[in-house]
Every structure is written in structure tokens, then in C-alpha cells.
Amino acid sequence: MTDSVLVIEKEPPLGWLIFNRPQKLNAFNAEMWRAIPGALSQLEADPEVRVIVVRGAGDRAFSAGADISEFESAPNTGDDDGESIFGAFDALAACTKPTVAMIHGVCMGGGCAAALCIDIRLASETAEFAITPARLGLGYSFEGIERAVQELGPANARYLFITAGKIGAKNAREMGLVQEVHPRFELEKATRDLALRIADNAPKTIRAVKESVRQSVLPPADRRQEVVEGLLRECFESEDFQEGLRAFSEKRKPRFNDR
């Protein structure tokens, strides 16, 4: 692991994006917020990477959220910080490649908000989640609330923000915060196995599914149906579709090439 606050590791077909401040429970500082969009763009552009896995360094935390000490030392940079934070969240949510979160331990505040931007979330049995502006007297952005409502539903979003309490892995799964829970020392293998299974699927189909889901949560007047229809045409006209048909008839595993 390098000294960089954000680390990219390639393990084709997987690309790992690692929050790398384990001494601070991987709390986000300004440097990390600013680096996330560029790191994701690098992984998106890499043809060897089919799935992006996001995790925190070590096994104590995915991320404890924003580094509050930076707010105390630089209280007048809120606007710039806000742009960096929302830019990081938007970049995570806008990935066209599938994203998977591997969540050990603490997943609080901005860390939990970041996780909600990721397609599929796996957690260890010891993971704990919370978003706590109500304990600090802070307002919370509409965009963040909206994303929580989309991912969790209105009732669970209210519970998460109004109680501001810690949520264990079992309850997190029940409310949709995570999709799978695994024993602590089995989480990395389970995450890698799932990511590799996703990587075996047709990339064009996955992009079409992700865009369809993205459009489905928009107001009907804002939906761009033509974008989805274009992606569906790409699927039907692709070499991968023909390969899928051949593999099915030949009773073998398909080999998709994103063509």
C-alpha cells in the first residue's frame, strides 16, 4: 500500500479503488474527495477492468466519513469542499461499469453516503452504519436524502437520518443498505467471487441495466428513453449477443468481449 490517500489496484478483470487512510479509519479529507472522480475515470477507461470494487484499507473501516479535523482547521472552505464531495458522490453513482462495495467495520457519515452511490454492497457481520447530521446540528443536502430514498425507500431513509444511530449489519441488510452479509474473514473472498461472477456477464447488458435503473428513478418528464433504447439496440446488434446464443446452445460458458 502506498502513501497515497486513494489507491488503485488492478486485478483484471477487477479494479480496486481503496480509501487509504487506515490510521484515520479511512476518513475522507479534501485530497481524497478530489481524487475520486479521476481515479474512477481511470478505471472506467481501462479495457481490462470490468468491475470496480471499492473498499477501505485494512479491516477496521470502509470509511468513518468526512475528516472533521479539516473543518475545524479550514472552516471557510465549505463551498469548495461541497463541490468536491458532491463530485465524488456523482462520479461513483455515474459509473457505467458495475461497482461493488466491500464494507468492513465502520461505515459512517460520508462513508455511508458514498456506499449508497455504489451498485452492490457487501458487509462483514461486524460492520456498523450511520449518518449523523442530526447529532451535529447540520443540515443535509437534498441530493443525499434523495439518493437514500431511492436506495432504501422513504421509511428507511427517515429512520437512518432521524435516529442518527448505529445500524448493525443484520439490520442494514433488512433495510437494503447492504445486499449480503458475511463473516469478517470471509468478506474479501465473497466480494471477489461476486465481482468475478459479474465480470463474466455481458458488459453491454450491464450498462443498459444500470442506465435503465438510473432513468427509472427520474420524474417521467426527465427520463431519456432514447438513451435506454439506444443501449438496448447495441445489445441486440452486438457480437456478445451472438456469443451468448451460441454458448447457450453449446451448453458452455459464454466469453463476452464487449463488442
Q: Are residues 96 and 155 in the same domain?
A: yes
**Is 127 inside any structural domain?**
yes
**Is 142 inside any structural domain?**
yes
E-assigned strand segments in the chain? 6-11, 14-19, 51-56, 61-63, 99-103, 106-108, 120-124, 128-130, 167-168, 180-182
Instruction: Annotate 185-207 with DSSP letters as a single string.
Output: GGHHHHHHHHHHHHHTS-HHHHH
**Is 255 inside any structural domain?**
no
Q: Are residues 218 and 188 in the same domain?
A: no
Q: Are residues 28 and 98 in the same domain?
A: yes
Q: How many domains does the chain have?
A: 2
Q: Please state, in angstroms and as integers, the Cα–Cα distance from residue 149 to each residue in 32, 56, 114, 169, 190, following that order.
A: 26, 25, 14, 19, 27
pLDDT at 67: 86
Domain boundary among 177, 198, 219: 198
Q: Which three cell numbers stand for residue 156?
A: 428507511
**Is 254 inside any structural domain?**
no
Task: List the strands of the sheet with 99-103, edge to edge.
Answer: 6-11, 14-19, 51-56, 99-103, 120-124, 180-182
pLDDT at 145: 96
pLDDT at 68: 77
**Is 38 inside any structural domain?**
yes
pLDDT at 83: 84
**Is 114 inside any structural domain?**
yes
Q: Are residues 168 and 206 in the same domain?
A: no
pTM across the whole model: 0.93
H helix or E strand, kind and range, residue 30? helix 30-45
pLDDT at 72: 58
Closest CA to 56 of 92, 87, 23: 23
Q: Return averaged pLDDT per consecutive 10 residues of the chain, 259 residues in all.
A: 87 98 96 96 97 97 88 52 87 97 97 98 98 92 95 97 97 98 97 98 97 94 95 97 97 96
Q: Are residues 79 and 108 in the same domain?
A: yes
pLDDT at 81: 63
Q: Are residues 117 and 235 in the same domain?
A: no
**Is 214 inside any structural domain?**
yes
Q: Are residues 187 and 213 in the same domain?
A: no
Average model confidence (pLDDT) across the chain: 94
Q: Are residues 187 and 215 in the same domain?
A: no
Which residues fall within 8 angstroms of residue 61, CB to CB, at 6 or more apart?
22, 25, 26, 104, 105, 106, 107, 111
Q: Are residues 138 and 231 in the same domain?
A: no
* Cα–Cα dist 166/97, whole Å: 31
Domain boundary among 198, 218, 234: 198
Residue 216's domain comprises: 202-249
Q: Are residues 86 and 131 in the same domain?
A: yes
Task: List the strands of the sheet with 61-63, edge to edge.
Answer: 61-63, 106-108, 128-130, 167-168
Bridge partner list, 130: 108
Q: Answer positive or negative: Cα dihedral of 201, 204, 209, 214.
A: positive
What CATH code is carried by the domain that includes residue 10?
3.90.226.10
* Cα–Cα dist 135/92, whole Å: 26
Q: Are residues 143 and 234 in the same domain?
A: no
Q: Are residues 147 and 235 in the same domain?
A: no
**Is 152 inside any structural domain?**
yes
Q: Which three cell numbers stand for residue 99?
A: 461497482
90-146 per-position pLDDT tens digit: 999 999 999 999 999 999 999 999 999 999 999 999 999 999 999 989 899 999 999
Domain boundary among 155, 181, 198: 198
